[in-house]
């Protein structure tokens, strides 16, 4: 009989607890609205009295003690375990989990939130960039990021596969792992431009991509949204024969125009070449930066640099981490910096040729 009474007592407590919490919530809500609608103060007062009258004092004391204990446990857990948000692709469900990391003087969780609120770097003209595209997994991305120096002329792209796998949390995570690097969200926007631009900005990106094959209305909305949310616009001209025809239809010009030969094109169509001659055409007509993507061989990299590309995009060497990754980054930065120095002293290289 005693066991049955204990069970019944627990059930009654749970009922009282549910009633108390519901009345407490409604009391707070109506009290808040009372500042705008004075009549709501009376409703909140009535609910408060009802809560006091219907829930016995000893039960209220127990409920409040449990709530305080739960809050304290959460705070202690965050402080002692130094939690860091990390995305884990577990079976069929991608979800945000927490793992332990090195202790810091300030809360890692607070630091993480602050990093997203911090205004990121912006693209600068007369600056040459090495653009590293991360397209594998967050695990591989973290290994590569650990070897990337904090330089203002490095763009770190959160590739489309990462965004599709982990969502916008991939942007937030990579933003957290980096210190001051430029983060580009390769969203390849083709519709709902403002929504995707805001999503990328809120996640911590400094730039976002839109497809040149998207409707002109979408591209115009994309460029307008990028100005609104203070994020750099990249227009990806993959599968566009003549980028100038697209640019002429736009109300505004993107910060960066990307000449892009796709991965499948590169692997299955050996005759498909990157149109380096279009760099001069576009720069001659519009005040914009040019990125070249799809050429990962030494010859193609040299051609992009020689033909005055502002941004050289690479992904193959950075799909998987290897011991040679740091050395590779150093060599590429030297090539880009060398070209930048030669431009400053106005060398008379012709842009008509691809450097072959």
Q: Which of 27-36, 41-50, 118-127, 170-179 reaches the highest mean pLDDT?
A: 170-179
pLDDT in tens, 54-97: 888 777 777 777 777 776 655 554 444 433 444 444 434 444 44
pLDDT at 339: 60
Give me the mean pLDDT over the 314-339 stretch: 79
- Our CA dihedral for 337, 340, 345, 351, rounded to 10 degrees, sits at 130
What residues pair up with 130 in beta bridges, in sequence order?
A: 154, 312
Q: What is the largest CA-CA distance in the chain?
A: 99
Percentage, residues of the chain above pLDDT 90: 35
Alpha carbons 109 and 87: distance in angstroms, whole number: 14
Confidence category of residue 119, pLDDT binned at 50, 70, 90: low
Alpha carbons 190 and 183: distance in angstroms, whole number: 20
Helices (H), 230-276: 243-249, 263-268
Percentage, residues of the chain above pLDDT 70: 77
pLDDT at 104: 39
From 176, 207, 173, 209, select the one nearest 94 (Cα to Cα).
173
pLDDT at 103: 38
pLDDT in tens, 140-191: 999 888 888 888 889 999 999 999 999 999 999 999 888 788 999 999 999 9
pLDDT at 151: 82
pLDDT at 3: 43
Give me the mean pLDDT over the 331-344 stretch: 69
Ordered domains of the chain (ranges, CATH): 2-75 (no CATH), 83-112 (no CATH), 122-344 (3.20.20.70)
pLDDT at 251: 96
* Token digits of residue 192: 């709902």
Residue 203 has pLDDT above 80, yes or no: yes
């Amino acid at each position: 009989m005693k066991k049955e009474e204990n069970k019944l007592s627990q059930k009654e407590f749970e009922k009282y607890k549910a009633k108390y919490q519901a009345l407490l919530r409604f009391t707070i809500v109506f009290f808040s609205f009372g500042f705008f609608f004075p009549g709501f103060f009376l409703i909140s007062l009535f609910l408060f009295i009802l809560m006091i009258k219907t829930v016995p004092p000893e039960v209220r004391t127990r409920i409040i003690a449990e709530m305080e204990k739960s809050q304290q446990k959460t705070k202690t857990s965050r402080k002692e375990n130094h939690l860091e948000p990390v995305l884990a692709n577990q079976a069929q469900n991608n979800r945000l989990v927490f793992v332990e990391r090195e202790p810091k003087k300030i809360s890692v969780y607070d630091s993480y939130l602050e990093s997203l609120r911090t205004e990121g770097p912006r693209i600068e003209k007369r600056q040459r960039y090495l653009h590293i595209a991360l397209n594998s997994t967050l695990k591989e991305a973290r290994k590569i990021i650990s070897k990337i120096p904090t330089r203002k002329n490095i763009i770190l792209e959160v590739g489309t596969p990462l965004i599709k796998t982990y969502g916008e949390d991939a942007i937030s995570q990579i933003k957290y792992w980096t210190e001051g690097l430029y983060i580009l969200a390769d969203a390849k926007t083709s519709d709902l431009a403002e929504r995707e631009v805001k999503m990328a900005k809120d996640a911590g990106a400094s730039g976002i991509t839109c497809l040149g094959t998207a409707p002109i209305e979408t591209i115009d909305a994309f460029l307008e949204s990028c100005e609104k949310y203070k994020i750099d616009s990249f227009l990806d001209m993959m599968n566009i024969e003549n980028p100038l025809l697209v640019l002429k239809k736009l109300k505004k010009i993107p910060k960066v125009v990307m000449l892009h030969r796709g991965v499948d094109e590169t692997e299955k169509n050996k005759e498909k070449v990157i149109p380096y001659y279009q760099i001069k055409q576009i720069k001659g007509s519009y005040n914009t930066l040019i990125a070249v993507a799809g050429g990962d061989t030494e010859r193609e990299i040299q051609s992009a640099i020689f033909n005055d590309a502002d941004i050289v995009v690479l992904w193959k060497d950075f799909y998987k981490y290897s011991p040679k990754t740091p050395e590779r980054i150093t060599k590429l930065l030297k090539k880009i910096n060398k070209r930048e120095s030669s431009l400053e002293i106005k060398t008379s290289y012709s842009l008509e040729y691809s450097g072959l």
